[in-house]
Amino acid sequence: MKELLYLEIPTPDTASVRDWLQMEFTVETFSKSRTPDGIRLFRTESTLQEATIPEKLHELSIFVWSLQRTTYLKVFRWGDRSFSNEAKILKRLTTLIRKRFPHQYPEPPAIDLSKQTIFEALAPYYPLTVKYFQKMPNGEYDLKRAYWWEQRWREGVRNPQQPKQVIFKSPSPQANRDRVGVLEYDIIYIGGALGVIHAAVMAQLGYKVLLIERLPFGRMNREWNISRDEIQNLINLGLVTSNEVETIIAREYKDGFNKFFDANNPPKLKAPVLHTPTVLNVSLKSDKWLQMCGEKLKAAGGEIWDEMEFIRADIDEQVTVTVKDLVNETEKQASARLLVDAMGTTSPIAWQLNGTRAFDSVCPTVGAVLSGFTPGVWDSQYGDVLYSHGDISRGRQLIWELFPGENDELTIYLFHYHQVNPQNPGSLLEMYEDFFTILPEYRRCDMSKLEWKKPTFGYIPGHFSTSANSRIVAFDRLIAIGDAASLQSPLVFTGFGSLVRNLERLTKLLDCALKHDLLSARHLNRIRAFQSNIAVTWMFSKGMMVPTGKFLPPERINSMLNNFFGLLADSSPEVAENFIKDRFDWLTFNQLALKAARKNPALLPWIWELAGARDLFRWLGNYINFTRHTIVSALLGNWFSVFIAKNQIWLENNYPSLWLRMLAISYAIKTGKTPSRQQIIARTATTTVQKPEII
Residue 111, pLDDT score? 94
Residue 543, pLDDT score? 79
How far are the Cα atoms of 192, 203, 221, 481 from residue 216, in angstroms, in the given order? 9, 21, 12, 21
Burial of 50 (0-12, 13-18, 19+ CB in 10 A): middle
Cβ-contact 55, 43 below 8 angstroms: yes
Whether 208 and 293 share a structural domain = yes
Whether 85 and 181 share a structural domain = no
Whether 186 and 294 share a structural domain = yes
**Would you call 652 helix, strand, or coil by DSSP?**
helix
Could you list the beta-strand ranges (E) of 68-199.
Answer: 70-77, 167-168, 183-190
Q: Is 265 a domain residue?
A: no
Question: Which residues lie below 8 Å from residue 638, measured CB to CB, with a gap of 6+?
Answer: none
Whether 197 and 68 share a structural domain = no
Per the rule left: phi > 0, alpha: psi between -120 and 50, beta: everything else, 337 is: alpha
Whether 188 and 301 share a structural domain = yes
Residue 121, pLDDT score? 97
Residue 466, pLDDT score? 64
**Would you call 101 helix, strand, or coil by DSSP?**
coil
Question: Which residues lie below 8 Å from residue 393, measured CB to CB, with a gap of 6+?
Answer: 8, 67, 68, 69, 70, 434
Q: Is 567 a domain residue?
A: no
Whether 92 and 16 share a structural domain = yes
> Domains in the chain: how many in total?
2
φ, ψ for residue 293 (rounded to 5)? -65, -40
Q: Is 147 a domain residue?
A: no
Q: Is 112 a domain residue?
A: no
Instruction: Count Cβ atoms below 10 Å from residue 463 Cβ, excluding itself.
Output: 21
SS3 of 550-565: the string is CCCCCCHHHHHHHHHH
Whether 232 and 94 share a structural domain = no
Q: Is 323 a domain residue?
A: yes
Q: Of 100, 132, 156, at which residue does a domain stop? A: 100
Residue 207: beta bridge partners? none
Whether 208 and 85 share a structural domain = no
Distance CA 634, CA 265 (A): 41
Residue 206, pLDDT score? 96
At residue 636, what is the residue type?
A: L
Q: Of 73, 100, 127, at which residue does a domain stop? A: 100
Residue 83, domain CATH? 3.30.310
Q: Is 80 a domain residue?
A: yes
Note the Cα 139 to chain centre separation in Å. 24
User: Which structural domain range is residue 47 located in?
Assistant: 2-100
Parts of the chain with a pLDDT under 70: 44-57, 160-162, 170-183, 356-358, 465-470, 486-495, 672-695
Whether 76 and 184 share a structural domain = no
Whether 194 and 308 share a structural domain = yes
At residue 430, what is the residue type?
A: E
Whether 197 and 67 share a structural domain = no
Comparing CA positions, the residue from 510, 554, 477 lying closest to residue 9 is 554
Residue 193, domain CATH? 3.50.50.60
Q: Of 85, 100, 115, at which residue does a domain stop? A: 100
**Would you call 573 helix, strand, or coil by DSSP?**
helix
pLDDT, tens digit (0-9, with 9 covering 90-100), for 474-491 = 899 999 988 777 666 666
Q: Is 142 a domain residue?
A: no
Cβ-contact 12, 70 below 8 angstroms: yes
Residue 332: beta bridge partners? 323
Whether 65 and 185 share a structural domain = no
Q: Is 650 a domain residue?
A: no
Residue 338: beta bridge partners? 187
